[in-house]
Amino acid sequence: MRKKKPDRYIKLPLWFASAAAKATNTRKAMVWIWLVWLAFENRSLEFPVPNGRLRQWGVSRYTKDKALRELEAAGLIGVTRQRGKTVRVALITL
């Protein structure tokens, strides 16, 4: 039986990811990078995703919402939405 190769990881400054997302017009990709960072920051696979913090990386709440819906449809995340409350995300595949 062959040994499974370990997963590869990369350290990536958020400012660099933000600049790359902006330059390539792929701000939804920045949402995914930011979600992974939030999971590590919160030490949990489930966490709140406020609009304001993504805005500092050049991502509007509309882009965030669209990205969350697409990631949810792809089965990468679970999203809990309640009217008037901050969205909560659960990473499924990390």
Query: Domain-by-domain residue ranges, the chain?
Result: 14-91
Q: How far is CA 6 from CA 9, 71, 91, 92, in A?
A: 9, 25, 20, 19
Q: Which residues pair with 46 in a beta bridge?
A: 90
Sign of CA dihedral 59, 36, 77, 85: negative
Higher pLDDT, 79 or 22: 79
Residue 18: band (very low, low, confident or very high) from pLDDT cuts 50, 70, 90 = confident
CATH of 14-91, one of 1.20.120, 1.10.760, 3.30.70, 1.10.10: 1.10.10
**Predicted local distance difference test score (pLDDT) of residue 58:** 86
**Predicted local distance difference test score (pLDDT) of residue 48:** 95
**Predicted local distance difference test score (pLDDT) of residue 80:** 96
In which residue are the tokens 């919402």 written? 65
Q: What is the pTM for the complete model shown?
A: 0.82
pLDDT higher than threshold 70 for residue 93: no
